[in-house]
């Protein structure tokens, strides 16, 4: 049987490790992973708000802006626009400053 203090320490360490892994997953995302995730689904009726919500729930730094979503990916800003009936959820292009 594990000593109660050791059990508590192990629980805390595992909790911290899980928390660090979840936060690291957001910073480790790159444009290839983003394109794979977006091309895996088709939704001709997706709105800008829906697209931003989808990205945020997958740990991307996204915010709706006008007719598209602005995405900050490792310091590079991309513009994502829902693409209607075309394959995938949206078109991706670098944001023009």
Spatial distance between the Cα atoms of 80 and 93, rounded to a whole number of angstroms: 7
Q: What confidence tier does 10 reach under pLDDT thresholds 50, 70, 90?
A: confident
Alpha-carbon distance of 22 to 47, in angstroms, equals: 27
pLDDT digits (tens, 9 = 90+) for 69-92: 999 988 889 999 999 899 889 998
- pTM metric for this prediction: 0.66
23 pLDDT more than 80: no
- Phi/psi class of residue 52: alpha, beta or left (left: φ > 0; alpha: ψ in -120 to 50)? alpha
Task: Give me 66's structure tokens.
Answer: 């006008």
d(CA 37, CA 62): 14
pLDDT, greater one: 94 or 50: 50
């Amino acid at each position: 049987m594990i000593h109660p203090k050791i059990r508590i320490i192990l629980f805390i360490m595992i909790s911290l490790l899980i928390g660090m892994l979840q936060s690291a997953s957001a910073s480790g995302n790159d444009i290839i992973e983003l394109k794979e995730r977006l091309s895996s689904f088709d939704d001709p009726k997706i709105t800008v708000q829906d697209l931003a919500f989808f990205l945020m729930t997958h740990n991307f730094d996204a915010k709706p802006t006008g007719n598209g979503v602005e995405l900050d990916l490792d310091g590079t800003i991309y513009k994502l626009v829902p693409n209607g009936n075309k394959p995938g959820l949206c078109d991706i292009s670098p944001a023009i400053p």
